[in-house]
Structure 1
């Protein structure tokens, strides 16, 4: 089984957000890295260390770090990192407030927590990530 790549640590998250990292920062950063790997980075070109799979270019590694931190920050703003908040209820009424959601939304896959944070795209499209370092959405065969 391959070792999961984790692109940031709690200190990186603190530096990125300017706020103390939450108690479960390591878990969140691991999940964010896994999500980025499966939804974004698997379709990108960059030079990786054959042993660890981590980017060898320091600018690419820094962009991945910032992307993982941006995803965790997004989850912190949403108050949901799993998509669970997007599951379940069809309608709720409390006083004059009436909220509704399709009852077919049972998986949470359409939840904002399962979306890629806008700042992730900013990190991965930085001007210094030139095509010789990183290509977003480029799938190649060796």
Structure 2
């Protein structure tokens, strides 16, 4: 099975912004984030070349942006790309302390996408089941 990686460590560094280099394990994180994007788009339709890469540069950029946004979100939430990390809430008022896993939503594919990743895909018209006109 061919593993498609939609963004490079250099693209991730640019996405994260000045003073925030890509982490040492950027390749691994990008592979896992690309898998998340693939899973979210299982029924999306868009033109590809013989290698399965998108022909439309706007689609390719949206996939790269979504992948970088997914990694950024995983880093911010403490997830290492395995899905084992998560968003935890914690509330303390005086001697009372409450904590637990915050609820997280998943798309129809069961993949937890970063909000910015979801928006990048939707802006490009890459929604599951939608036919992309080219």
Calculate the TM-score normalised by the size of structure 2.
0.74
Task: Give CA deviations for 1:4-52 in whole Å, capped at 9, x if unaligned.
Answer: 11000110001111021000111000000011111x22121100112x2
What runs of 5+ residues in structure 1 fail to find an aligned partner? 87-94, 102-109
1:55 — aligned with what?
54
Distance 1:85 1:53 in 2: 31
How many pairs are equivalent?
A: 115
* Pair 1:136-2:127 in alignment: yes
- What is the correspondence of 1:21-100 to structure 2 with a 5 Å cutoff? 21-38=22-39, 40-50=40-50, 52-80=51-79, 81-86=81-86, 96-100=96-100
Question: After TM superposition, which residue ranges in structure 1, 4 or more long, deviate above 2 angstroms?
Answer: 95-101
Q: CA–CA distance in 2 between the matches of 1:136 and 1:117?
A: 15
Structure 2 unaligned blocks of 5 or more: 87-94
TM-score (norm 1): 0.70
User: How many angstroms apart in 1 are the aligned matches of 2:38 and 2:119?
Assistant: 16
Instruction: Provide the alpha-carbon RMSD of the alignment.
Output: 2.4
Larger radius of gyration: 1
Counterpart Cα distance in 2 of 1:98 and 1:70: 30
Aligned to 1:119: 116
Q: Give the Cα separation in 2 of the matches to 1:100 and 1:125.
A: 31
